[in-house]
Amino acid sequence: MTINWQLLMPELIIILTFILVAIFDLFNSIQKTVAAWLTIVGCAIALYVSIDMLQVGMEGTEFSNMIQVDKYSLFFNVIFLVSTILVVLISMNYLGRTDRRQGEYYLLILLATLGMMLMASGNELIVVFLGLELMSLSLYVLAGYFQRSMASSEAGMKYLLLGAFASGFFLYGIALIYGGAGTTSIPKIASAITVNATSPLLLSGMFLLVVGFGFKVALVPFHQWAPDVYEGAPTSIAAFISAGPKAAGFAAFLRIFLEALQNIQSEWIVVVTILAALTMTVGNLVAIAQRNIKRMLAYSSIAHAGYVLVGLAAANKDGISSAMFYLLIYCIMNIGAFGAVILARTEDGESLMISDYAGLGFKKPLLALFMTLMLLSLAGFPPTAGFVGKFYIFRSAVESGQIWLVIIGAINTAISAFYYLRVVVAMYMREPEEELDFHPYPSLLIVALTLAAIGVVLIGILPSYFLSPAQISTFL
């Protein structure tokens, strides 16, 4: 058996980086920041290779059709690697304060990234499931990484229990689809469904998959874990969980539903549409009531999953490409927003209450500037990236006739502006209630935030430069 290793270059580079970090971590004499730098360098090389493969248009299946490397999976690799690099950058100063050894932290981040890449390129439900498990297992541990903090341990435990439950749904769905279609290979399922029309096994399997994915990407009836986990987990990990894994969940969600189950589209489209409307509305409405900024960002990320789901509900080529484009933007701006939260540290730890941000606009102008930019982008104000992302998502939905969904989405965008702007208003127009002593800016965090800010503005001004790769990368 000969294997075309070139196709698997990004994955191999991540594994190699993993091994190197594990070896360097053994020596106590080497500074612990080496692990972080190795991770960044490895991810950057993998990112470069992915972009290169995307431009060359390298495609193919490998390991007896187990994985399918195509432009779609490579585009998602770019999303995952960009978010991993940003997360490692914002983690370095954040972890630097605690005296824990950090090697394992970066090892788990690398394994989670590898899991995401497998989810995006999986051509077989088994591989998608294994990628999902690899990613989730690493994230459970990362969420509980601060074992001394009750909140972090609780977040890890909660995430583990609910995540395992969701994995059960997902696996049961795969089993039923196997029973209905006689295969777990995504393209073969697609052809098997045409022959056999709709078996009840397939339908129930499909609904179980919706539940499984719903948990993983935090859609509304299945979102309860997200705010608690984001609040309790280390802030850098909250940024990580909210970005890459959500994109990976959607990568598999889109591929399975629009490729394998496209012939029973009429059955799932209603469910997906209702979930999208519910997710946007509930996410945004509950976010208004939040006083803790991490919880607010958690509900905002739930609402954003709803916007992406509109792309799936559109169920056309534009829907996929705009969902991919939106996920790229979302990852950058959400990690940026969490990074700004890390930046606002005081001596007692993080200042997480929105009221703590009062008056920051003049006391900490740079922090306030980053925070404002990220929040405006999340709210979808032009000329930021968030605006163009929402624009293309809604346009694809209009094209496929989902007018009601677009109206609900537009109303939700207006609602979301309220709570995002409330933080901005607090920063620039309110007097602080008590004098908080903020830490000086850590340099690497500023680098990460500057990168995110450049990304948000650049995509906002030159959207076509980033949208066209997404448009040529769809699998339909």
Positions that interact with another protein (CB under 8 A):
1, 28, 62-64, 66-67, 99-101, 104-105, 107-108, 111, 114, 118, 124, 126-127, 130-131, 133-134, 137-138, 140-141, 144-145, 147-148, 156, 179-183, 192, 195-196, 198-201, 204
Considering the complex, state which of residue 104 and residue 399 has its C-beta at the smaller distance from another protein.
104
Considering the complex, state which of residue 18 and residue 325 has its C-beta at the smaller distance from another protein.
18
What per-residue string of b and e applies to 223-243 under the rule 16 or more CB within 10 Å gives b? bebbbbbbbbbbbbbbbbbbb
> For tokens 């990990």, what's the residue?
237
- In the bound complex, what is the minimum distance in angstroms from residue 289's beta carbon to another protein? 21
- In the bound complex, what is the minimum distance in angstroms from residue 229's beta carbon to another protein? 16
Considering the complex, state which of residue 22 and residue 457 has its C-beta at the smaller distance from another protein.
22
> For tokens 């996410």, what's the residue?
283
- In the bound complex, what is the minimum distance in angstroms from residue 4's beta carbon to another protein? 13
Considering the complex, state which of residue 80 and residue 466 has its C-beta at the smaller distance from another protein.
80
Considering the complex, state which of residue 212 and residue 361 has its C-beta at the smaller distance from another protein.
212
283: left (phi over 0), alpha (psi -120 to 50) or beta: alpha
- In the bound complex, what is the minimum distance in angstroms from residue 36's beta carbon to another protein? 16
Considering the complex, state which of residue 107 and residue 445 has its C-beta at the smaller distance from another protein.
107
Sort 421 into a burial class: Cβ within 10 Å, 0-12 / 13-18 / 19+: middle
SS3 69: strand
Separation of alpha carbons 246 and 135, rounded Å:
11
The stretches of 261-400 forming alpha helices (DSSP H) are 265-288, 293-314, 317-343, 360-363, 365-379, 385-399
Considering the complex, state which of residue 64 and residue 346 has its C-beta at the smaller distance from another protein.
64
Residue 337 and residue 301 in contact, taking contact as beta carbons nearer than 8 Å: no
Sort 200 into a burial class: Cβ within 10 Å, 0-12 / 13-18 / 19+: exposed
- In the bound complex, what is the minimum distance in angstroms from residue 187's beta carbon to another protein? 14
What per-residue string of b and e applies to 145-164 under the rule 16 or more CB within 10 Å gives b? bbeebeebbbbbebbbebbe
- In the bound complex, what is the minimum distance in angstroms from residue 16's beta carbon to another protein? 13
The count of residues in the chain is 476
- In the bound complex, what is the minimum distance in angstroms from residue 295's beta carbon to another protein? 21
- In the bound complex, what is the minimum distance in angstroms from residue 346's beta carbon to another protein? 24
In the chain, the N- to C-terminal Cα span, in Å, equals: 30
Considering the complex, state which of residue 282 and residue 343 has its C-beta at the smaller distance from another protein.
282
Give the pair of three-digit tokens for residue 359.
């008056």
Residues contacting residue 21 through CB under 8 Å, at least 6 positions apart = 35, 38, 39, 42, 103, 106, 107, 110
